[in-house]
């Protein structure tokens, strides 16, 4: 990692200035620790997501069952996600993260043992997915809200973009690595590696200097879920972002399902091809992550435009004949998928105060993960009933239509591009 001293030793110039803008939050020691640990843990988590998809597909040969894998994992988020935000606003977020990461590690090791011993059944995968979902209910809003505590308000936009870029990039690169490992060492060892990866965040959290954290003031009364929802919705600038996150989270962010099915049913390949497709998509995520991190704090227009371009890119990808054109188009899809996710996350955080941050980010978590309860089985059913291309086209068309409608609405209402934090 490059700290502030490292940057100053490099001759100044346009490229150096851009790098300093992108990685400015890494000047903070606590955030450097967290960034490294979070990257390892997120990659491991999404490796397991891909491995679970492939395991269930192998056991059932059913697209809807694959989608249900993610639905069961995120069912607790859909039902109780907003309460997780209230918990993140009430208790020490660093301590909460230490506990959630340890429990998640134990669940991953349990899945490894079941598969390794040859006793796995689909219901076991679903049951462990629900258990992990209850961990996610608290972990996700606490993780997002903890960012400003590490870097302070002056760098929160950059840190949010970097952290969001880590999560969204791992969403792609993790499954890509999993696809490669499944063909080499077997699906069970992906679960084992994920269990070990959680230790990276735990070690980083224990190594932090707690005296330099910017902890929010705790109010005497308990944080209210209803109060958090009212607070987020009355910030007019982020209403379109909330709607778009719900649409994209429900339909688009099902890449392991989409690409597992298109690798098998459309191109006649296996886990290695699915991993290759995810790796190509990962090239785009690296570009998208770096671009998002060096941008100024995102606006309403930024999130709407990025959602529209993402929907368009998906429609172009599925309209291209042959495997090679589809693979090449996955690069801009990856760019836009990460850029939208990073922009939406940063937009919500930049317009909310620390006091409500956990509950605002619980809304984001519920809309990106909790909506998978509906979106996962739905897109899996479309892919199974028609074709994987039809599933991807549906996601792209609905995203484009929603972004277009919101653009017209905000223009008619003269919604400002930015708004102050309430």
Query: Measuring CA to CA, how many Å separate 104 from each of 1, 87, 95, 135, 321?
Result: 27, 18, 15, 7, 41
What would the two tokens of residue 134 be? Answer: 């209850």
In our burial notation (b when 16+ CB lie closer than 10 A, e otherwise), range 9-30 reads eeeeeeeeeebbebbbbbbbeb
Tens of pLDDT along 85-96? 999 888 899 999
Residue 221 pLDDT greater than 70, yes or no: no
pLDDT at 422: 42
Residue 12 pLDDT greater than 60, yes or no: no
Nearest to 93 by CA among 44, 147, 43, 134: 147
Grade residue 417 by pLDDT with cuts at 50, 70 and 90: very low
Burial zone of 63 (CB within 10 Å; 0-12 exposed, 13-18 middle, 19+ buried): buried
pLDDT at 201: 94
Grade residue 4 by pLDDT with cuts at 50, 70 and 90: very low
Report the first-to-last Cα separation within the chain, whole angstroms. Answer: 35
Q: Are 340 and 303 in contact (CB under 8 A)?
A: yes
pLDDT at 1: 42
Q: Are 291 and 373 in contact (CB under 8 A)?
A: no
Q: What is the DSSP letter of 353?
A: -
Long-range contacts made by residues 31-34, C-beta under 8 angstroms, separation at least 24? 31/147, 31/150, 31/151, 31/159, 32/1, 32/3, 33/204, 33/205, 33/207, 33/208, 34/146, 34/150, 34/201, 34/204, 34/205, 34/208
Q: What is the DSSP letter of 252?
A: T
| pLDDT-above-90 percentage for the chain | 38
Q: Give dist(CA 87, CA 359) in Å, integer.
A: 9
Domain 22-207+231-413 carries which CATH code? 1.20.1250.20
Q: Count of CB atoms within 10 A of residue 152's CB? A: 15
What would the two tokens of residue 204 be? Answer: 């980083």
Q: Give dist(CA 244, CA 235) in Å, integer.
A: 15
Q: Where are the domains of the chain?
A: 22-207+231-413
pLDDT at 109: 96
Segments in 271-320 forming alpha helices (H): 271-294, 300-319
Tens of pLDDT along 315-327? 999 999 889 999 9
Query: Measuring CA to CA, how many Å separate 383 from each of 56, 321, 331, 353, 372?
Result: 15, 17, 22, 41, 15
Grade residue 292 by pLDDT with cuts at 50, 70 and 90: confident
| pLDDT-above-70 percentage for the chain | 92
Grade residue 375 by pLDDT with cuts at 50, 70 and 90: confident
Q: Average pLDDT of 29-39?
A: 93
Q: Are 85 and 360 in contact (CB under 8 A)?
A: yes
Nearest to 75 by CA among 331, 369, 285: 369
pLDDT at 217: 66
Grade residue 171 by pLDDT with cuts at 50, 70 and 90: low
Q: What is the DSSP letter of 219?
A: P
Beta strands in 177-261 (DSSP E): none
Nearest to 340 by CA among 315, 364, 306: 306
Task: Tell me what the pLDDT averaged over the chain comes to.
Answer: 85
Nearest to 130 by CA among 373, 378, 380: 373
Segments in 295-387 forming alpha helices (H): 300-319, 323-350, 357-365, 372-385
* Beta-carbon contacts of residue 323 (< 8 Å; ≥ 6 apart): 267
pLDDT at 197: 94
């Amino acid at each position: 990692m490059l700290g502030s001293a490292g940057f100053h030793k490099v001759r100044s110039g346009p490229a150096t200035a851009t790098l300093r803008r992108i990685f400015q939050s890494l000047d903070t020691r606590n955030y450097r620790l967290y960034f490294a640990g979070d990257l390892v843990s997120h990659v491991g988590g999404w490796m397991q997501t891909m491995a679970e998809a492939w395991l269930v597909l192998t056991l059932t040969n059913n697209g809807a069952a694959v989608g249900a894998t993610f639905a069961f994992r995120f069912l607790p988020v859909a039902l109780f996600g907003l309460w997780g935000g209230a918990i993140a606003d009430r208790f020490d977020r660093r301590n909460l993260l230490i506990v959630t990461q340890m429990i998640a590690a134990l669940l991953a090791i349990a899945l490894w043992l079941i598969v390794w011993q040859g006793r796995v059944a689909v219901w076991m995968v679903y049951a462990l997915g629900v258990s992990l979902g209850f961990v996610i209910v608290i972990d996700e809003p606490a993780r997002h809200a903890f960012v400003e505590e590490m870097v302070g308000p002056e760098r929160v936009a950059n840190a949010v973009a970097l952290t969001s870029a880590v999560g969204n990039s791992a969403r792609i690169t993790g499954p890509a690595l999993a696809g490669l490992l499944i063909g080499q060492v077997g699906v069970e060892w992906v679960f084992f590696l994920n269990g070990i990866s959680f230790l990276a965040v735990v070690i980083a959290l224990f190594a932090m200097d707690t005296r330099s954290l910017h902890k929010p003031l705790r109010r005497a009364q308990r944080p209210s879920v209803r109060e958090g929802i009212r607070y987020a919705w009355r910030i007019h600038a982020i209403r379109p972002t909330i709607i778009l996150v719900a649409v994209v989270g429900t339909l688009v962010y099902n890449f392991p399902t989409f690409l597992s099915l298109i690798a098998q049913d459309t191109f006649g390949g296996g886990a290695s091809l699915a991993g290759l497709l995810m790796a190509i998509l990962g090239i785009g995520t690296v570009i998208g992550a770096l671009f998002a991190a060096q941008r100024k704090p995102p606006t309403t227009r930024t999130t709407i435009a990025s959602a529209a371009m993402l929907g368009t890119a998906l429609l172009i990808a599925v309209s291209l004949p042959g495997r090679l054109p589809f693979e090449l188009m996955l690069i801009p899809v990856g760019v836009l998928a990460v850029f939208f996710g990073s922009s939406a996350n940063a937009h919500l955080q930049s317009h909310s105060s620390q006091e409500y941050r956990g509950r605002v980010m619980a809304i984001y978590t519920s809309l990106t993960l909790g909506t998978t309860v509906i979106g996962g089985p739905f897109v899996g059913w479309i892919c199974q009933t028609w074709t994987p291309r039809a599933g991807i086209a549906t996601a792209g068309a609905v995203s484009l239509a929603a972004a277009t409608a919101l653009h017209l609405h905000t223009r008619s209402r003269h919604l400002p591009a930015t708004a102050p934090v309430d």
